[in-house]
């Protein structure tokens, strides 16, 4: 196993505590495998009544996936090991989504990308005053995967499309308002919540008893503007709508979008649109694995990671460079089925 996840039993609860503080608990493949193995073991253990996913220390719950590993795969093995990472990570996401016992994820701190993937499918996902939630993938030439298509497409008022395209960060109160958290708890009662669950109390009742009313959600003031400007599934329409608005907010969001990969912005809009036609979460993950398999080795991913994370010059050279240059045929090819023996399958 791995020491990057602390796996333990405490009373009636199984704990999966992420333990990679130097990387804000970004998920590695050994972490994915360790969490999956524990969940499979606890699934049939009558002593385990609930599962808690949290982090051991540090300022974040989980900052995402192992981006350096994925970029190395894209550059050096044609994406083979990267596809393996996505495949197994998505199996973990699906396992949590379909788990029969209650899973409680404590999103206390930075919760991004892969961190969303292991918290959002839990039956209960708890925000705090420390939560900083985002799906920032379009900024590095990726897309909001790990089930993002499923969750974001089902938020009201085009909030999901806004988050997918801009990578905007939400605090805990905004997560609760948007429907991305089931409960809002102060950080200082989390230990008590976990203790009560470990003592066998029903998680939903514990969380409801300790929950407080969050502060006003700042994003609510922009809800009407988001619904208006992000209404279209055509990326050029979104840009034009923002450009026609002379407000400071619209200018800020337009400037943010100008830094993103045009290709993966178009991918994200198509992903959220198509997810609404998926029969279940597994079908959504089949779609997202097809996308991941293609986007991983497209030029924008390695370039985006270089610009934002490696060289930190924040000057990516996207290919295609403009939304108009991203053809429908290219997007269709990214979403096309894989050979039958390469398609994603749940555990």
Q: Which of 60, 64, 65, 149 is catalytic?
A: 65
* pLDDT at residue 87, as a whole number: 98
Residue 14: per-residue pLDDT: 98
pLDDT in tens, 173-197: 999 999 999 999 999 999 999 999 9
Sequence-distant (≥ 6) Cβ neighbours of residue 49 within 8 angstroms: 12, 13, 101, 102, 200
Active-site residue, 114 included: yes
Residue-wise pLDDT for 93-138, tens only, equals: 999 999 999 999 999 999 999 999 999 999 999 999 999 999 999 9
CA distance 174 to 166: 16
Question: Which pLDDT score, from 0 to 100, does residue 231 have?
Answer: 98
Mean pLDDT for the stretch of residues 218-225: 98
pLDDT over 70, % of the chain:
100
**Of 66, 137, 288, 300, which residue is the catalytic one?**
137
Q: Helix 328-335 vs helix 281-295: angle between axes, to the nearest 10 degrees?
A: 120
- pLDDT score for 58: 75
Q: For 303-332, write each residue's pLDDT tens digit.
A: 999 999 999 999 999 999 999 999 999 999
Q: Characterize the bridge pairing of strands 60-62 and 50-55.
A: unpaired
The active-site residue out of 145, 253, 274, 288 is 145
Could you give the CA distance from residue 218 to residue 305 in angstroms, rounded to a whole number? 30
Mean pLDDT of the chain: 97
The token duo for 11 is 């009373």
What b/e readout covers 229-263, taking b as 16+ CB neighbours within 10 angstroms? Answer: bbeeeebeebbebbeeeeeeebeebbebbebbbbb
Q: Using alpha carbons, select from 137, 131, 173 the residue that is nearest to residue 152.
A: 137
Position 57 scores a pLDDT of 84
- Domains of the chain in sequence order: 5-342 (3.90.226.10)
pLDDT band at 59 (very low <50, low <70, confident <90, very high): confident
In the predicted model, is pLDDT for residue 222 greater than 80?
A: yes
The answer to whether the CB of 241 falls within 8 A of the CB of 231 is yes
Interior/surface letters 26-48, b for 16+ CB within 10 angstroms, e for the rest: bbbbebbbbbbebbeebeeeeeb
- 55 phi/psi in degrees, rounded to 5: -125, 150
- What is the model's pLDDT at position 83? 98
- Concerning whether 145 is annotated as a catalytic residue, the answer is yes
Assess whether the previous peptide bond of 50 is cis (omega < 30° from 0).
no
Q: Please say if the pLDDT value at position 2 is more than 90.
A: no
The neighbour count for residue 108, using CB atoms within 10 Å, is: 21
CA 310 to chain CA centroid, nearest Å: 21
pLDDT, mean of residues 217-245? 98
Percent of the chain with pLDDT over 90: 98
Task: With residue 2 as reference, give the H or E element that holds it.
Answer: none
Q: Mean pLDDT over residues 284-313, rounded?
A: 96
Q: How confident is the model at residue 1, as a pLDDT?
A: 66
Structure tokens at 161: 């499309």
Look at residue 45 and tell me whether its pLDDT is greater than 90: yes
pTM for this model (two decimals): 0.97
The pLDDT tens digits for 150-160 are 999 999 999 99
Nearest-angstrom CA–CA distance, 97 and 346: 11
- Return d(Cα 74, Cα 328) in angstroms, integer: 24
Cα separation of 51 and 139, whole Å? 33
CA angle 203, 86, 344 (to 5 degrees): 95
């Amino acid at each position: 196993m791995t020491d990057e996840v602390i796996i333990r039993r405490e009373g009636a609860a199984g704990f999966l505590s992420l333990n990679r503080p130097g990387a804000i608990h970004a998920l590695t493949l050994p972490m994915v495998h360790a969490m999956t193995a524990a969940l499979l073991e606890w699934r049939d253990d009558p002593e385990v009544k609930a599962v808690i996913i949290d982090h051991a220390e540090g300022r974040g719950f989980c900052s995402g996936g192992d981006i350096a590993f994925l970029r190395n795969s894209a550059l050096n093995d044609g994406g083979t090991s990267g596809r393996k990472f996505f495949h197994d990570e998505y199996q973990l996401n699906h396992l949590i989504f379909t788990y029969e016992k209650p899973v409680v994820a404590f999103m206390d701190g930075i919760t991004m990308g892969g961190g969303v993937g292991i918290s959002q499918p839990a039956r209960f996902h708890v925000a705090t005053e420390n939560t900083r939630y985002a799906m920032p993938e379009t900024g590095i030439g990726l897309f909001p995967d790990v089930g993002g298509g499923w969750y974001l497409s089902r938020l009201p008022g085009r909030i999901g499309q806004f988050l997918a395209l801009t990578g905007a960060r939400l605090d805990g109160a905004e997560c609760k308002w948007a429907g991305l958290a089931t409960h809002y708890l102060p950080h200082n009662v989390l230990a008590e919540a976990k203790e009560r669950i470990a003592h066998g109390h029903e998680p939903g009742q514990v969380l409801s008893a300790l929950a407080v009313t969050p502060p006003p959600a700042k994003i609510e003031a922009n809800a009407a503007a988001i619904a208006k400007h992000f209404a279209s599934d055509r990326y050029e329409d979104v840009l034009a709508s923002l450009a026609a608005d002379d407000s400071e907010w619209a200018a800020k969001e337009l400037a943010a979008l100008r830094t993103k990969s045009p290709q993966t912005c178009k991918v994200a809009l198509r992903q959220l649109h198509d997810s609404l036609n998926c029969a279940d979460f597994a079908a959504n993950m089949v779609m997202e694995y097809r996308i991941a398999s293609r986007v991983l080795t497209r030029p924008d991913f390695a370039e985006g990671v270089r610009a934002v994370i490696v060289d930190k010059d924040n000057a990516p050279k996207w290919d295609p460079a403009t939304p108009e240059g991203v053809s429908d045929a290219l997007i269709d090819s990214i979403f096309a089925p894989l050979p039958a023996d390469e398609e994603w399958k749940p555990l």
